[in-house]
Amino acid sequence: MTQPRVCVLRAPGTNCDSETAFAFERCGAIAERVHLFRLLENPAVLKDYQILCLPGGFSYGDDIGAGVIFSQKLGGPLVEPLREMLSRDTLLLGVCNGFQVLLKAGLLPGGTQNWPPSGARDVTLTWNENGKYTALWVRLKNTAPHNAFLKGIDEIDLPIAHAEGRLAVRDPGVLSAWQKQGNVALCYVPKAGANGVRPTEAKLEYPENPNGSFANIAALSDASGRVLGLMPHPERFIDATQHPRWTRLGLTGDGDGLKVFQNAVDYFK
């Protein structure tokens, strides 16, 4: 297969679906924006796709909590079609609100194994430490090179724009298990100092860790590396000129974020 088909799943309040579909198409995929209601009417259409992407936005107005209502809709009649799709060699991406949905649906960090989970979640994305909607650029380190979306990426600049992006856990001891299983996918990192040496990589403060996330985590992967959820927006950096410092840094051509989508398309070559 050379041209994968992408389902960009939107719900009421989603607002990043067009640019996300555009990013996939620019990398050679066939991307279709599909409304959740159409999918609920006919879940079998998932068989037509190799990539499922939940884009950013404010699904259902963030009622009760960001991504909560959308995540509930993925249960019920969509459980079996989703399980069937992900049992094939397919990819699943959640960006910002899409990450919140995947996490609250229980598809991350565990993937489709034992999904949907029977017990209470032990991880969530909740209000930023500063209590504010926060939009800025961050530096990220790839800590899950096995993830299909992150292949060949070491560090990357991306923008974030969210109010509920702080990863919080019930038990901090879960980190060692996540690290063993390759669940920690991207971490916020500080910029290098003048001597090229980074300060300590312990808990970072704002703005390097912009929301106060546990262990500076910005993205989670499942163990298979076929599912990724991230708070930053790769679809907002597909051209070098979208970077706020592109002239001073001398950036040209594609933006770093495009690599995430290119990796997904290339996975099927």
Instruction: List residues near another protein by CB under 8 A.
Output: 64-65, 68, 72, 120-124, 126-132, 168-170, 212
Q: How far is the CB of 81 from another protein (least distance, A)?
A: 21
Report the residue number, 18 or 126, with the smaller CB distance to another protein.
126
Q: Which of 96, 162, 164, 243 is catalytic?
A: 96
Q: How far is the CB of 143 from another protein (least distance, A)?
A: 22
Q: Which of 16, 27, 53, 235 is catalytic?
A: 235
Q: What are phi and psi of 260, to 5 degrees?
A: -60, -45
What SS3 state is found at 173?
coil
List the beta bridge partners of residue 21.
none
Is-catalytic flag, 53?
no
Report the residue number, 118 or 195, with the smaller CB distance to another protein.
118
Report the residue number, 170 or 203, with the smaller CB distance to another protein.
170
Q: How far is the CB of 85 from another protein (least distance, A)?
A: 24
Is-catalytic flag, 27?
no
Q: Which residues contact 140 (CB under 8 A, 6 or more apart)?
A: 155, 156, 157, 158, 186, 187, 188, 189, 218, 219, 232
Q: Which residues contact 268 (CB under 8 A, 6 or more apart)?
A: 1, 2, 3, 4, 50
Pairing of strands 30-35, 5-10: parallel
Is-catalytic flag, 164?
no
Enzyme catalytic residues: 96, 233, 235
